[in-house]
Amino acid sequence: MNYMDPFNSFFNMKELELEPEGDLIARRLSDMQGMYQQEDNVAGNPKIYEYYNVRLPEIPGHLQHCVTVISPGKIGKEYHMTKGHYHEVEETAEIYFTIQGRGKLVMQTKEGDSKVLDMEEGMISYIPPYWSHRTINTGEEPLVFVGVYPGNAGHNYGDIEERGMKKLVVEEDGQPKVIDNPD
Ligand code: M6P
Ligand code: ZN
């Protein structure tokens, strides 16, 4: 039997960095074209979020885990958010554990049901099989959370890239509000 050695990762809460680093993926506005309602007239190409993947085999039995950091801010009226995805293996679930900040977790099924959960420090959110998921930073500090999901789950971005999600999270009178996507 070829055993993998157990190991620790450490997330530095001051620097907001994973040690050892693993794969660091940064997403800027240009990586999310068409996902925000009002992305024209935004100065530069702001970094919206980044995530640190611990490198693991993409096979059943393992548990992928990563830390996502969404910077505070808005594009038009919409708060900074992740692209959002279904899992390629649709019957796989995911857990998000929020370790800093405040936000919303928007989920949707292919049948068109939507659910929105609050994210705040200490919250453990369960994303059951079949629900696509996107996270939104509605606060004034970085939103930081750990995601854990099956080794073989994979990411399917196509659906959300093409059609968006039914619910948007916008700022209205200084408060986050969940609205129906007008498109
Ligand atoms: C979480 C997990 C990851 C995901 C990341 C960024 O950490 O769900 O699997 O990659 O958020 O979200 P997205 O892939 O939708 O850009
Ligand atoms: Zn996922």
Task: Give the residue whose CA is nearest to atom 12 of ligand 1.
Answer: 82
Please state whether the predicted TM-score (pTM) of the whole model is above 0.75.
Answer: yes
**62-121 tens-digit pLDDT:** 999 999 999 999 999 999 999 999 999 999 999 999 999 999 999 999 999 999 999 999
Antiparallel, parallel or unpaired: β 114-120 and 102-108: antiparallel
For residues 39-65, give the mean pLDDT. 95
**151-171 tens-digit pLDDT:** 999 999 999 999 999 999 999
Closest ligand 1 atom to the C-alpha of 27?
A: 16
With the CA atoms of 80, 82, 84 and 89 taken in that order, what torsion angle do they form, in degrees rounded to the nearest 10?
A: -160
From the centroid of its chain, how far is CA 101? Answer: 13
Ligand nearest to the CA of 145: 1
Q: How confident is the model at residue 183 (pLDDT cuts 50, 70, 90)?
A: confident
* More reliable by pLDDT, 40 or 5: 5
Between the CA of residue 172 and those of 6, 35, 76, 166, what are the distances in Å? 47, 19, 11, 18
Instruction: State residue 40's pLDDT score.
Output: 87
Find the residues whose C-beta lies inside 6 A of ligand 1.
Answer: 51, 66, 68, 82-85, 94, 147, 155
